[in-house]
Structure 1
Amino acid sequence: MGARPIALLDGLRFGSPGWEFGRAVGGIGHYGNCVGVPTVGGEAVFDAAYSANPLVNAMCVGVLPVERLTRARASGAGNSVVLYGSTTGRDGIGGASVLASQELSDEDEDKRPTVQIGDPFTGKKLIEASLELVESGLVESLQDLGAAGLASSLAEMAARGGAGVDVELDRVPLREADLEPVEIMISESQERMVAVVAPERLSDVEAVCRRWELECAVIGTVTDTGELRASFDGELVGEIPARLLTDEAPRYRVETRARALEAPIRHRPIEPSGGDLLTLLGSPNIRSRRPVFERYDFLVGSRTVRRPGLDAAVLRLRPSRRGIAISLDGSGRVASLDPRTGGSQAVLEAARNVACAGGHPLAITNCLNFGNPEKPEIAWELAETIEGMAEACEALGVPVVSGNVSLYNETDGRAIHPTPVVGCVGIVEDVGRVPGAWQEGDVVLVAGEPELALDGSEYQALFLGGAAGRPPRLVPAAEAALIRFLADSSPLLTSAHDTSEGGLAVSLAESALFAGLGAAVEIGDDAVDWFGEGGGQAVITCRAEDVSRLEGVPLRRVGVVGGDRLLGVRLDALREAYG
């Protein structure tokens, strides 16, 4: 598209915070730090459902002048197709055809594809060269090479442009000389781009690639046939109308079969305690993520205004004082109990985090992680989740501008939780007026009045034997009103923090630890009051004289900031538990 990447976020889901998780964090940190793009947010979730099929979902945000937007389409018969970047090898062959279309078992080790080998320094050069090519007007279009390599990228470019492409596979720069034509076509080697270039600009494109020390080769030509044709050493080895691989690929409706949702559980009254709060704060899904994000360079680029650690990150759009707030959130456990509610929750939580940082949600992207959709129950989960996401987006009035799917996440017939992961971007009008930490004497309020329950909550998972029952259904209009209120009221707020995993008590504790100040608060006498989850709410604080200026959603005054305790627990004990 011609955009400069300015931020990365990652959603990590593993069975436990062990060696595999640490290696994933190390890989993200190494690549992001070397390529010079800050990793500013994300989430880490641990659940046995992901033990055999961990998920690593990444989101990248870029900026560009709208007049420089570059389309990934082939056009202009006679134009050259240029491949530049890294060389092509066997790494990643089979990635799209195996991991995206089959279940795996212990007997299928031979089906597991080789992993793509990333080179962040080549990646950095590729980014800079691509931006120079676009800024100089040297390319007609650009397309990255991802799943299925040249086969997918060239077909997509041809179909979007209503054109054809003739590719000569023997011209592709190789790192292994004995690659077969089919291997060249479907290799998923990293750090490669395809550009459509007018013949008179070829020498300039080659000069840019030489300056950035990147391989560059003319591998084909744009045609007006509408076909993707591949040859090797002058012999035609494959041809197909490009539209049959894209818009007119065979489609079929998979069978769906609804499963009965569990009834909501009527929990007996449970008296909450400070000990429960400390246990939750120290649990793998809630404890501080500082050991994770401190392995990332989240300041490179000098745009980061609000760092990782609480709700959304904020980056400045220099030279103005405007900025963007970005967040990445998902729901697996809730979606396993009620996929439609889980889909809505993923969208609304991402938008709520953006609003807590002063951002007005602008658009979302997503990755839908599911098991085998050929199984009717899994297909139903997928359909229900999408419906829930659509309901939330309609209430918010925001579009879904991109996304992808990760299906067949099963091993030995056991699927992951249905896991929609949603990224949200919002506009911040003034990055100097973003809510921060609460201050001595501030009034503490809870915004929002949703239905809460222990079903699907972190408290239930930790203390009551695991996920069960049915989470409360969300009210999209009320959720959207809360998000608008948080964004509109941000200039009046000293702090704003979304309530999610662990409920209100955990949200209050995180706010207190972030500020280094306690608060005298009263929030009820039942575990649902303290740790219940469900619809959206947020802990907000402001000066006493500003309380009357806040309106538009239900507000409940719960206390005042001050002291070194929260809910009867000293801050140093909270800090020790949280990590």
Structure 2
Amino acid sequence: MAALDTVVSAQSDPDRGQPWAELGLKSDEYAQIREILGRRPTSSELAMYSVMWSEHCSYKSSKVHLRQFGEKVTDEMRAPLMVGMGENAGVVDIGQGYAVTFKIESHNHPSYVEPYQGAATGVGGIVRDILSMGARPVAVMDPLRFGPLDEPDTHRVLPGIVAGVGGYGNCLGLPNIGGEAIFDPTYLGNPLVNALCVGVMRHEEIHLAKASGAGNLVVLYGARTGGDGIGGVSVLASETFDAGADGKGGPAKRPSVQVGDPFQEKLLIECTLDLFKEGLVVGIQDLGGAGLSCATSELASAGDGGMRVHLDRVPLRDSSLSPEEILMSESQERMMAVVEPAKAERFLEICERWEVDATVIGEVTEDGRLVIEWHGEVVVDVPPRTVAHEGPVYQRPFARPSWQDALQSDAAEALPRPGSGEELRETLLRLVGSPNLCDRSWITDQYDRYVLGNTVLAQPEDAGMVRVDEETGLGVALATDCNGRFAKLDPYAGAQLALAEAYRNVAVTGARPLAVSDCLNFGSPEDPDVMWQFAEAVRGLADGCRELGVPVTGGNVSLYNQTGDTAILPTPVVAVLGTIEDVRRRVPTGFGPGQTVLLLGTTGEELSGSEWAHVVHGHLGGLPPRVDLAAEQALAAFLAEAGAAGLLGAAHDLSDGGLAQALVEAALRRGVGVRVAPEGDPFVALFAESAGRALVAVDPQDEERVVSLAGEHGVPVTRLGATTGQGDDAALEVEGSFTVPLAELRAVWATTLPAALGG
């Protein structure tokens, strides 16, 4: 067994070789660590710096751009913010003394390596982030991206990822109320698994991650620490995947993926909420990426600046683990709390009642140092801020790609189009059954969407909605969206279109958009083309949030989503949260019989980046749809007012697949037929993907009032037609072009995923 590497030995043996490169550090980063410490780091210190300075934990390539989210915020945007960026999750005031915390994060690379556990622990990690703010988690969502549906590797990762998301969330008893499942060749070998959680609390129940009060105790509680996930996501998410012989690749480093235990997490949740209820917690931090390295350094640096930890007290599942491995382990279902000595006994009693292991492993100090001992020997003695918050910051070079102009000049508007009614009918059916537009029930039926009894809307609705207060009906709605093809064509506009779509999806339910979280998934930051995409997307999102008046409360950056030289489509996933005063006034997507169907917004000949171009022609080129955020804001204000007044029988946003897809989904939702006569070129009317549009169905007696209210908000209205009733004869009819029975539509729409994946 190698001799213990202590601070004393680091001072007496300054030239010992160390595996800094193998741990993912650059030579100048290793030199910077030596300069900070005034000596070489111990092996334990090196382990801590390597995981905390990884791309996943430190945001070293993205910090300079992410500052815009704070710099471009206005006083109006700050108004609902109770906790902003920098904590485990943002917190917003939703009224009536309630606050909501929500956040979206990635678990991409671990889910490629081990799909089930990678996805499951992604859900577990985001749930603990929400819990650590003092909130009860109430729902989750899962935006997913995969390679082509017919690829063998998609068949390997997709079932495991879906089972992991469902298995963990279902066991926790949390409803999965929304998400996405998108297929594109660039995600082959690099699927995206983004996970969102939302939690609810009273204003006075907010908790923060800080270790304050010299003499207070540091308690580690939850699962024991094991060898699973050593390095874990902090290393996996900071590496480009190398293309192998089969072109699909794998990570250059394969530390073991974390293993989740949702039943342990459920106990941890209830235990923690009881600890909060009795006022036993001064500060709290979950153990996710970078494990103890993160929890100790972040708590110390955000508090009074000092902590002493006795690492040999950490309960282990594997007694052979070295200090370095314990510090790097990302074993799941663990939390760290700062507790006053007088309250420690009660803290431990509550943990014992919930059968949750809890151990006092240290104390808060006021010397400004993070000191970690192993059996009486000091193995770490560092300024905690240098580990947690003052790592390297890179101004990565970026430039508009040389191929961008050619890409944008290759417009889809010039592609051959269907002309006859029969050709339009065939195009509709082909799109309806395509992987990105088909029924998602194969996935969503594996999730419990209604557990806890507060789910108001869930898949396949445009947004998920949960009730917060039973008496008043106060609720929140959430949606996640991103069209990576639009972002490839124009990252600035693409990020704004993702924001606009999520904003609109929340609005069509009758909720008022309030705040944003984001998960920015991109390729390697060492590629100037990718960094340009990232910089433009962040700029677009920050500018868009400012114009819409919704703050970014926090989020996640996931870089190195790249296999060999092939980067994923730039995928800035945007989550929007909105509030609704009374969930009984929610607006569903499905048509009812005897309703008038109206189109809100303006349709242009905008086909580049569309599903039609993608599915029919395998084409990507041109400019994405025009962004008009003022129009989006006006549309959302109208939808909220009309919904609250009970004027809308149904509402559905127009996005992927255009008007045709919205009509199909609204008709199939309740099996209600519809007859429409769109204006102008039927092909453009049906398949263009212009933004800022929604489909609404209203009772005929309310039509005049709805049109008048839309006019007051400056929202254009076009009367499309009417619903035609339910039954065996129900159909989608486009006057003068074609008719398709709903039974035929459903057969095409519902069979794609089961036929490909089984069951």
Q: Which TM-score bucket, shorter chain as reference?
A: over 0.9
Distance 2:364 2:536 in 1: 41
Q: Which residue of 2 aligns with 1:468?
A: 621
Q: After superposition, where does 1:384-395 map in structure 2 within 5 Å?
A: 384-395=536-547
Q: Which residue of 2 aligns with 1:323?
A: 475
Offset of 1:306 from its aligned partner? 1.7
Q: Which residue of 1 aligns with 2:506?
A: 354
Q: After superposition, where does 1:204-283 map in structure 2 within 5 Å?
A: 204-259=346-401, 260-261=404-405, 262-263=408-409, 264-267=411-414, 270-271=418-419, 273-283=424-434
Verify: 1:560 aligned to 2:722, yes or no.
Answer: yes
Q: Does the residue aligned with 1:533 lie in a helix, a strand or coil?
A: coil
Verify: 1:487 aligned to 2:640, yes or no.
Answer: yes
Out of 193, 196, 219, the position equivalent to 1:82 is 219
Q: Which residue of 2 aligns with 1:2?
A: 134
Contact 1:444 1:542 in 2 (8 A): yes
CA offset digits 1:329-374 (Å, max 9, x no partner): 1221211111111111111111111111111011111111011112
Q: Which residue of 2 aligns with 1:517?
A: 672
CA offset digits 1:166-195 (Å, max 9, x no partner): 111111111111111111111110000000
Offset of 1:44 from its aligned partner? 0.4
Distance 1:253 1:355 in 2: 37
Distance 1:577 1:540 in 2: 24
Verify: 1:502 aligned to 2:657, yes or no.
Answer: yes
Distance 2:345 2:329 in 1: 27
Offset of 1:109 from its aligned partner? 5.6
Offset of 1:244 from its aligned partner? 1.3
Offset of 1:110 from its aligned partner? 6.3
Q: Which residue of 2 aligns with 1:345?
A: 497
Q: Which residue of 2 aligns with 1:448?
A: 601
Q: Which residue of 2 aligns with 1:15?
A: 147
Q: Which residue of 2 aligns with 1:27?
A: 164
CA offset digits 1:91-138 (Å, max 9, x no partner): 111224422322121566661121100000001000000100001101
CA offset digits 1:194-223 (Å, max 9, x no partner): 000001111111111111111111111111
Q: Which residue of 2 aligns with 1:155?
A: 297
Contact 1:256 1:380 in 2 (8 A): yes
Contact 1:99 1:408 in 2 (8 A): no
CA offset digits 1:405-452 (Å, max 9, x no partner): 111111212111110111111111111111233222211111111544
Offset of 1:561 from its aligned partner? 1.0
Q: Which residue of 1 aligns with 2:117?
A: none
Structure 1 alignment gaps of length 5 or more? none
Q: Which residue of 2 aligns with 1:70?
A: 207
Q: Does the residue aligned with 2:239 lie in a helix, a strand or coil?
A: coil
Contact 2:239 2:253 in 1 (8 A): no
Offset of 1:526 from its aligned partner? 4.1
Task: Between 225-234 and 260-269, report the one with greater CA deviation.
Answer: 260-269
Task: Between 48-57 and 161-170, report the one with greater CA deviation.
Answer: 161-170
Q: Counterpart amino acid of 2:585? A: R
Provide closer, same or farther for how the CA distance between residues 65 and 452 of structure 1 changes in structure 2, counting only shifts above 3 A: farther
Q: Counterpart amino acid of 1:113? A: P
Distance 1:121 1:157 in 2: 26
CA offset digits 1:286-344 (Å, max 9, x no partner): 11111211111111111011232120121111222111111121221211111111111
Out of 500, 518, 527, the position equivalent to 2:683 is 527
Task: Between 11-20 and 201-210, report the one with greater CA deviation.
Answer: 11-20
Offset of 1:269 from its aligned partner? 5.2
Structure 2 alignment gaps of length 5 or more? 1-132, 150-154, 245-249, 751-759
Q: Counterpart amino acid of 1:373? A: P
Contact 1:35 1:120 in 2 (8 A): yes
Distance 1:140 1:450 in 2: 55
Task: Between 565-574 and 264-273, report the one with greater CA deviation.
Answer: 264-273
Contact 2:146 2:158 in 1 (8 A): yes
Contact 1:74 1:157 in 2 (8 A): yes
Q: Does the residue aligned with 1:492 lie in a helix, a strand or coil?
A: coil
Q: Which residue of 1 aligns with 2:185?
A: 48
Q: Counterpart amino acid of 1:488? A: E
Out of 421, 429, 449, the position equivalent to 2:573 is 421
Out of 284, 287, 296, the position equivalent to 1:145 is 287
Distance 2:673 2:438 in 1: 18
Contact 2:604 2:684 in 1 (8 A): no
Structure 1 runs (4+) deviating above 3 angstroms are 106-110
Distance 2:665 2:234 in 1: 43
Contact 1:451 1:535 in 2 (8 A): no
Q: Does the residue aligned with 1:218 lie in a helix, a strand or coil?
A: strand
Verify: 1:36 aligned to 2:192, yes or no.
Answer: no
Offset of 1:502 from its aligned partner? 0.6
Q: Which residue of 2 aligns with 1:536?
A: 692
Q: Which residue of 2 aligns with 1:101?
A: 238
Out of 126, 131, 140, the position equivalent to 2:268 is 126
Q: Counterpart amino acid of 2:681? A: D
Q: Does the residue aligned with 2:332 lie in a helix, a strand or coil?
A: coil
Verify: 1:477 aligned to 2:627, yes or no.
Answer: no
Q: Counterpart amino acid of 1:536? A: G
Q: Does the residue aligned with 2:449 lie in a helix, a strand or coil?
A: coil
Verify: 1:549 aligned to 2:691, yes or no.
Answer: no
Task: Between 516-525 and 189-198, report the one with greater CA deviation.
Answer: 516-525
Q: Does the residue aligned with 1:453 lie in a helix, a strand or coil?
A: coil
Out of 287, 292, 309, the position equivalent to 2:460 is 309
Distance 1:172 1:40 in 2: 37
Q: Does the residue aligned with 1:381 lie in a helix, a strand or coil?
A: helix
Distance 1:294 1:321 in 2: 27
Task: Between 29-38 and 545-554, report the one with greater CA deviation.
Answer: 545-554
Task: Between 97-106 and 370-379, report the one with greater CA deviation.
Answer: 97-106
Q: Which residue of 2 aligns with 1:295?
A: 446
Distance 2:455 2:529 in 1: 43
Task: Between 455-464 and 534-543, report the one with greater CA deviation.
Answer: 534-543
Distance 1:496 1:159 in 2: 48
Q: TM-score, normalised by structure 2?
A: 0.74
Contact 2:221 2:356 in 1 (8 A): yes
RMSD value over aligned CA atoms?
A: 1.5
Task: Between 546-555 and 488-497, report the one with greater CA deviation.
Answer: 546-555
Percent same amino acid among aligned pairs? 46
CA offset digits 1:203-256 (Å, max 9, x no partner): 111111111111111111111122222211111112221121233322221111
Distance 1:452 1:199 in 2: 68
Q: Counterpart amino acid of 1:512? A: A
Q: Does the residue aligned with 2:672 lie in a helix, a strand or coil?
A: coil
